[in-house]
């Protein structure tokens, strides 16, 4: 293993509560409950693609840009001020760096969400490469593109990477890229944890014993 690639939301960041609230409020303002399959459908999409999907699937009258702006407005304050890294994540990042392992982030999120958290938590400079939802050259996490791009930016081969992910689609895509994949528990996915565990090479409940 020459490199570790982390997903962000739900994997190293305790942030899924933000999007659950954004989703609830977004649909409530339109007199709807959050559709049952909505979170699973958009969990691996980029910010833009998620807005396109939401507009088309649910006939939202606002433009894609307006939808994104609405989401931004309600999520940014949380990321800038309240979202923190999960327990033991910083210790593991420090350990990897001491071992000379290159560290990447592959997330469908946009930089305005994850960068404030990494900066505030004091770990941004430990990351050697980023691939995110603002990269228009990659498809969503239903495909391995973003993991391959991150590996390329880390200057390592896919088989030299270990990926930490919390959602099934991301796990399967990273595996299809030829990478070792570790499933990470997140309470938001508790109802699917057995399936998530089975989809990865291995799993962890947290980063405490890494």
Residue 59 has what pLDDT? Answer: 94
For residues 81, 121, 127, 207, the Cα torsion angle rounded to the nearest 10 degrees is -110
Judged against a pLDDT cut of 90, whether residue 201 lies above it is answered with yes
pTM above 0.75, yes or no: yes
Per residue in 92-142, pLDDT (tens digit) is 999 999 999 999 999 998 899 999 999 999 999 999 999 998 887 888 888
Using a CB cutoff of 8 Å and minimum separation of 24, what contacts does 180-187 make? Answer: 180/1, 184/7, 184/10, 184/11, 184/12, 186/10, 186/11, 186/16, 187/16
**Measured in whole angstroms, how far is the alpha carbon of residue 11 from the centre of its chain?**
7
State the Cα–Cα distance between residues 38 and 50, nearest whole angstrom.
10
Task: Tell me the fold of 3-14+85-204.
Answer: Rossmann fold (3.40.50)
From 26, 4, 11, 136, select the one nearest 75 (Cα to Cα).
26
Average pLDDT, the chain: 94
Q: Containing H/E element for 162?
A: strand 161-165
Q: What is the mean pLDDT of residues 129-157?
A: 92
Strands 3-6 and 102-106: parallel
For residues 183, 184, 185, 186, the Cα torsion angle rounded to the nearest 10 degrees is -120
**φ/ψ (deg, to 5) at 193:** -60, -40
Residue 133 has what pLDDT? Answer: 83
Q: What is the mean pLDDT of residues 23-37?
A: 93
Judged against a pLDDT cut of 90, whether residue 88 lies above it is answered with yes
Task: Provide the residue ranges of all domains of the chain, joining segments of one domain with +.
Answer: 3-14+85-204, 16-81
List the strands of the sheet with 129-131, edge to edge. 129-131, 102-106, 3-6, 161-165, 180-184, 202-204
Residue 71 has what pLDDT? Answer: 92
Judged against a pLDDT cut of 90, whether residue 176 lies above it is answered with yes
**φ/ψ (deg, to 5) at 142:** -70, -15
Per residue in 64-78, pLDDT (tens digit) is 999 999 998 889 989
Tell which wins on pLDDT, 42 or 184: 184
């Amino acid at each position: 293993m020459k490199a570790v690639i982390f997903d962000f939301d739900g994997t190293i960041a305790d942030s899924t509560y933000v999007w659950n609230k954004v989703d609830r409020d977004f649909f409530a303002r339109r007199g709807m409950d959050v559709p049952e399959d909505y979170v699973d459908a958009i969990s691996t999409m980029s910010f833009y693609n998620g807005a396109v999907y939401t507009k088309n699937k649910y006939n939202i009258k606002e433009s894609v840009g307006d939808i994104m702006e609405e989401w931004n407005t309600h999520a940014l304050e949380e990321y800038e001020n309240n979202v923190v890294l999960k327990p033991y994540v910083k210790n593991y990042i420090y350990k990897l760096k001491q071992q000379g392992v290159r560290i990447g982030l592959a997330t469908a999120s946009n930089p305005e969400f994850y960068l404030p958290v990494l900066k505030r938590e004091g770990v941004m400079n430990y990351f050697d490469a980023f691939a995110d939802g603002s990269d228009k050259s990659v498809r969503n996490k239903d495909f391995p593109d973003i993991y391959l791009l991150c590996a390329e930016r880390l200057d390592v081969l896919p088989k030299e990477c270990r990926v930490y992910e919390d959602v099934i689609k991301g796990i399967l895509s990273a595996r299809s890229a030829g990478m070792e994949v570790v499933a990470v528990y997140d309470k938001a996915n508790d109802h699917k944890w057995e399936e998530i565990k089975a989809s990865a090479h291995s799993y962890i409940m947290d980063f405490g014993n890494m």
